[in-house]
C-alpha cells in the first residue's frame, strides 16, 4: 500500500483540484503570452522588459512558476506511486524530483524578482 506522506495535498480530491487550478493558471499565462506576441509583432527588448517590470506581471509569473511546481509534483508523484513499486527507488525518485523543483522555483524567483 502506498502512503500519502509524499503527496502534495491532504487527499486525492485536493490533489485533483490543485492539478486543475494549476492547469488553468498555466493555460491563461500561455494564452496571454501568445496574445501579447501576436499583438506586438515588432517586439523590442525595451517592450519585453517593461512588461516584466510591471508588478502584476511578476506576480502572474510567480503564480505560474508555483503552478508548474505543484502541477509537476502531483503528476510525478502519481506516476511514481503507480509505476515504481520499490519503496526505496520511489523515495529516491521523489527526492530527486522534489529537489529539482525546489531549485527551479528558487532560481525562478531570483530571475523574476531580480534578487
Cβ atoms of 93 and 75 within 8 Å: the answer is no
Contacts of 32 (CB under 8 A, 6+ apart): 60
Q: Is 29 annotated as a binding residue?
A: no
CA 109 to chain centre: 12
- Calculate the dihedral angle through the C-alpha atoms of 39, 45, 50, 52, rounding to the nearest 10 degrees: 90
45 is annotated as contributing to ligand binding: no
The whole-angstrom separation of Cα 61 and Cα 57 is 6
Q: Which residue ranges are tagged as binding site for a ubiquinone? A: 83
Q: Which residue ranges are tagged as binding site for heme? A: 71
Q: Which residue ranges are tagged as binding site? A: 71, 83
Amino acid at each position: 500500500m502506498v502512503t500519502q506522506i509524499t503527496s502534495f495535498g491532504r487527499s486525492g480530491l485536493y490533489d485533483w483540484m490543485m492539478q486543475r487550478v494549476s492547469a488553468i493558471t498555466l493555460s491563461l499565462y500561455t494564452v496571454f503570452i501568445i496574445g501579447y506576441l501576436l499583438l506586438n509583432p515588432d517586439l523590442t527588448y525595451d517592450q519585453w522588459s517593461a512588461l516584466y517590470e510591471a508588478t502584476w506581471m511578476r506576480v502572474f509569473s510567480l503564480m505560474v512558476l508555483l503552478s508548474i511546481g505543484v502541477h509537476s509534483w502531483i503528476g510525478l508523484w502519481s506516476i511514481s506511486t503507480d509505476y515504481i513499486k520499490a519503496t526505496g527507488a520511489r523515495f529516491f525518485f521523489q527526492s530527486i524530483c522534489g529537489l529539482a523543483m525546489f531549485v527551479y522555483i528558487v532560481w525562478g524567483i531570483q530571475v523574476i524578482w531580480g534578487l
